[in-house]
């Protein structure tokens, strides 16, 4: 399964584009569409929109692969998109260790969907933008859900 245009639109809206390095809510150096800069990949001169799109595509591929690897039950397009966006934002490690994944792989689709909504904090504080993003993921999940 591939990330849909609706999923990508949510991701890009949630992340926004920044051509210069900035610190995200957790203090991690980030650039483009929410790309976390890990040594040795840094962009001291910033990134162009085209380069940011390329990096985004590579990062989305990684998130898609993680969802495909970790989820053991069938998904609708909306569920897949919500999980790819979630994984892009939080990382595959968080998905792998989450109650969301445990519920989903147990076939508890509704419980898994509700788990999306609790991931709205950064650095121990509720973040309005994360709350909005999780609600959008939930809507995506439910809009194409079972």
Kind plus residue range of the DSSP H or E element containing 18: strand 18-23
Residue 15 bears catalytic tag: yes
Alpha-carbon distance 119 to 94, whole Å?
A: 10
Count of Cβ atoms closer than 10 Å to residue 40 Cβ: 5
Kind plus residue range of the DSSP H or E element containing 30: strand 29-32
Given the residues 15, 64, 132, 146, select the one marked as catalytic. Answer: 15
Query: What amino acid positions are annotated as catalytic residues?
Result: 15
């Amino acid at each position: 399964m591939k990330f849909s245009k609706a999923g990508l639109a949510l991701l890009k809206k949630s992340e926004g584009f920044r051509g210069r390095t900035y610190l995200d809510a957790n203090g991690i150096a980030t650039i483009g569409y929410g790309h976390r800069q890990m040594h040795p990949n840094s962009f001291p001169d910033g990134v162009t929109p085209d380069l940011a799109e390329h990096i985004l595509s590579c990062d989305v591929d990684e998130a898609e692969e993680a969802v495909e690897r970790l989820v053991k039950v069938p998904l609708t397009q909306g569920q897949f998109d919500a999980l790819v966006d979630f994984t892009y934002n939080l990382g595959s490690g968080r998905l792998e260790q989450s109650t969301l994944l445990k519920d989903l792989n147990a076939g508890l689709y509704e419980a898994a969907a509700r788990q999306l909504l609790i991931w709205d904090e950064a650095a121990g504080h509720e973040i309005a933008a994360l709350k909005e993003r999780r609600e959008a993921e939930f809507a995506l999940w439910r809009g194409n859900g079972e």
